[in-house]
Each structure stands twice: as C-alpha cells, then as structure tokens.
C-alpha cells in the first residue's frame, strides 16, 4: 500500500510584505548590475568623448563600478541611466515580479488542490476497500453457515 497522503497547512496567499521583499531584491539586483546602465562606445577617441558628453547631457552619469576602456579603436564606458529611465525600468521590474509572484501563488494553490484531491481519492478508496472486505467477510460467514447447515456433524463411534 502506498503512503497515506495528508495535506498540511494551506497554500500561500498574497502578501504585500512578500511582494515588496521580492521587488526590493530585484531592484537591488537592477541597481547593482548593468541593467541600470548603458554602454557607451566608439572606435575613435573624439567620437567616444562626444558620445559621453551627449549621454551626460541626457542625464547619464559615469559609473565607478566599471572600468573605462581606452584601447586603440575601442573606447567604452558604462554610464548609469537617468533616474526617470531607472524608474521606468523599475516599474517593468514590478510588473514582472508581480506576474512571477502570482504564478507562484497559483502553482502552489494548484499543488495543494492536487494533494487534497489525491488525499480524498485515497480516503474514498480505503473506505470502499473496507466496505468490500466487510461485505466479503459477511458473505463468507453466510456461506459457511449454509455449508454447516447442509451436513450433520460427523458422528464417530467410540
């Protein structure tokens, strides 16, 4: 016989605290990685400087977390996006995190439902098995009673 299935607890429900924790974690990842930056590069020095100036005028700032590359025909630097662009990116992150969190909650709910379904099936099968065993035992007792009633007890002389 298989192990008895038992559902413990309940599926998780929406929690603003959990949602905000997930958002904060992803925003932290965003701010610590290149997702919050843009790579500015050019093959020639003066083109590179102009590109950096143009980005700086648009609100970008040079990050100190990445090296500036000064190689022949390869100039590049990572620049942090302006706050309004970062905020737009963070709004996208919030939507993605919400979708992921909702998918997690729905999958957990479905998992709990499936567990409960299996538990109920198992309980019903066990009940049906016991009922069948009792019916079989009753039937066998009736048959034995009929058999005993058909023949007289064996008489052995002394």
DSSP code string of 39-80: EEEESSHHHHHHHHHHHHHTT-EE-SSSPPEEETTEEEEEEE
Identify the band that residue 13 occupies on the pLDDT scale cut at 50, 70 and 90.
very high
Number of separate domains in the chain: 1
- Residue 40, domain member (yes or no): yes
- Residue 87, domain member (yes or no): yes
- Residue 7, domain member (yes or no): no
Bigger pLDDT: 158 vs 33: 33
Looking at the predicted structure, is the pLDDT value of residue 5 above 90? no
Give the domain range for residue 51: 16-150
Identify the band that residue 155 occupies on the pLDDT scale cut at 50, 70 and 90.
confident
- Residue 9, domain member (yes or no): no
Contact yes or no for 40/76 (Cβ under 8 A)? yes
Looking at the predicted structure, is the pLDDT value of residue 8 above 90? no
- Residue 139, domain member (yes or no): yes
- What's the chain's length in residues? 158
- Residue 158, domain member (yes or no): no
Q: Is the dihedral of CA 104, 30, 51, 42 positive or negative?
A: negative
Q: What is the pTM of this model?
A: 0.73
How far is the first Cα of the chain from the last one, in angstroms, to the nearest whole number? 52
- The helix, strand and coil proportions of the chain, stated in percent and rounded to the nearest 5, come to 65, 10, 25
Provide the mean pLDDT of the chain. Answer: 93
Give pLDDT, residue 7: 82
Section 62-75 average pLDDT? 92
- Residue 157, domain member (yes or no): no
- Residue 8, domain member (yes or no): no
């Amino acid at each position: 016989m298989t192990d008895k299935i038992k559902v413990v607890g309940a599926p998780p429900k929406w929690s603003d605290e959990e949602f905000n924790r997930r958002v904060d974690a992803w925003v932290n990842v965003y701010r610590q990685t290149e997702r919050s930056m843009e790579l500015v590069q050019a093959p020639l020095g003066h083109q590179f400087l102009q590109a950096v100036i143009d980005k700086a005028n648009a609100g970008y700032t040079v990050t100190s977390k990445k090296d500036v590359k000064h190689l022949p025909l390869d100039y590049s630097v990572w620049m942090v996006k302006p706050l309004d662009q970062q905020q737009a990116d963070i709004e996208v992150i919030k939507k993605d995190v919400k979708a992921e969190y909702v998918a997690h909650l729905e999958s957990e709910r479905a998992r709990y439902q499936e567990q409960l379904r299996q538990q109920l099936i198992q309980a019903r099968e066990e009940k049906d098995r016991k009922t069948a065993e009792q019916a079989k035992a009753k039937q066998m007792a009736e048959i034995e009673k009929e058999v005993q009633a058909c023949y007289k007890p064996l008489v052995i002389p002394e």
